[in-house]
Structure 1
């Protein structure tokens, strides 16, 4: 390329020199130089015209014949165009394969631009969501999916958890929506049919609720007779009296399990909100502290820290149940001599209800599964501790009903902190509540 520029410079210099020589005998050297420059300009204008005609009218054909710098420029442009056409063909083929694979999916796939307007969707979206290919393109998705829960989910931009809703065209069909952000704030909306899973889950909930309810009556009768026999232990044969305390302990454990199962079933079925009101957090923390201290029997140091100048709006019975489960777990699993703190404190725009201990801690490998029903870190201690394995599942469902989430921070040997994070919408100023009262 450097030699081409030198050659063009030499050609220009030769034309100028030739023009000067031709004009010298006539005493018109400047005119001769101007004539040489005009010839050079005319040549380049001709090449520019050829370039314009080629790019405008014949871009798919080979470039015009030229030599020197213009020939090199034409060749480079031609090679660049050719590479671009190949790249575009590959991209079109890739997009075609993506669209074909999306069309083959049973799940709905919807592509939105940065404004939330519909750009493309597969045929499953037409069947599940009722989109019309010739009418709905360019429409904002909330104009077509108008359920308030979906609108809040879409604008909330917190897509870590999927959203379950009925299909807008068939209420008997249950869909699970998941939104993913990509590119320049664009969104990919996927919806899958979980009707069968939803029905199975409903059957499971009904089964657990019914069985738990049916077990409550015989357990109550059994506990009553055991209590009577215990009062008459001195009148019973020694061999029969030995097992009464063990029978009472196991019956009580079964009753606690049934109560927790019934509570979980109610939390799953009932959406809540009807009995929400301002909670006296100081009184609630102290009440749970006394219960935990009674369970501990002096084996732990349990304290309360009320640091948030906010009042929580919620269901007192449910929040107390969640806090009690966290506190009782700390008593059962932190180890003797540990310090347990029940804390209510502000954090950002919201507030946190925390249960912190300096006990044995939990291996991080167990943290994602702790809120599963009956999941235990140490299965060998399940009977000794007296827990039902449902405590953290209850905590999770209570927090979901209060627009909150559970965070667990723990390391082996460094204790554990269970943090219930409540949003600002669930809080009121303590002074404001006092004035209302």
Structure 2
């Protein structure tokens, strides 16, 4: 740039020198001619005119030089200023001037490179933002001053926070559970990796989080802050507890009939078989316990089958009235034992379902109603159409269910009255099977109950098209 300026200055000086030299030559030639002239005014007019022409010519030549050499440089300077401001779309005009064409081309190459780098950076930032926002785990990043610098949507939703009330705030001011706050403080103060499982109450529910914290290290091992990632494992904990309860319940339910069968059979083998009354009594108990064991195994197999991934029912147009009557016929002996009245309010309805599975559903609901109903009460079965769905209701006048226990009715082995259920030979799996079979039919089941009044199970099934 300096050499160009020097060349431009030298060029202008040469032009001015040439103009002055030309003017000197003109004056030198004109002086002898007008040396004897009495009126010197004409000489000065000629000199002034010649000087004006010289200035005009110099101005034209100078403006041309400026246009060719200075303007491209000014344009390149303006383009560079735009690049400094972050406008990487700016381009310098490439003129024919040898002195500036290389500069303009270099600036344009730089601008294109910066634009490409910026585009790649923006794309990577969008990808990172999308990844952080849509990851299954909640994330929060805290800078070295303790202020929240980054937070994703799952984190905000978990604690019902907003971006405005979180970003830039000190991490102790964002009102997260104190268990999580203690974990964050520990990672922040020690600047080390840490992992933990924490529990806290969210309203009336117990929440479980698997939390991982790590320091954020920049260039030259500079500590920039910490990042905390956590995943809600409440459902996993619940399923783990259900699995443990299931194993414990299965072991207990199997042990009871097996112990009875073993104990009475050993007593018979020890000589009790010689007493005919004792023999018949013990054999009846063994037979009852064997039936109970068989029922439990069958229910376990049924439940295992319907809980398998990909389980489907063999659905087809099915007359629900016939299904209900068939189920009633099979449960009628149990109904008669308690002198329970059965009231049918049934309308012809065709559903899209598996007849055998639906018979199993109605039987389980009727068995449940009979089990928890007293003698000389009444069970009502209704069948009608509502909102383009088939509705089946089984209403009893039994002991009813506490509202706090309704949510657990469909758990495996859960019983409202354990003693009554076991005495009746129930396995505690019937309602769980009902729930899975109804869901397999793309329907739903609801429960409405009042203690001492009775319980109503309502099933919604799709109609046959």
TM-score by length of 1: 0.46
TM-score by length of 2: 0.44
Q: Which has the larger radius of gyration?
A: 2
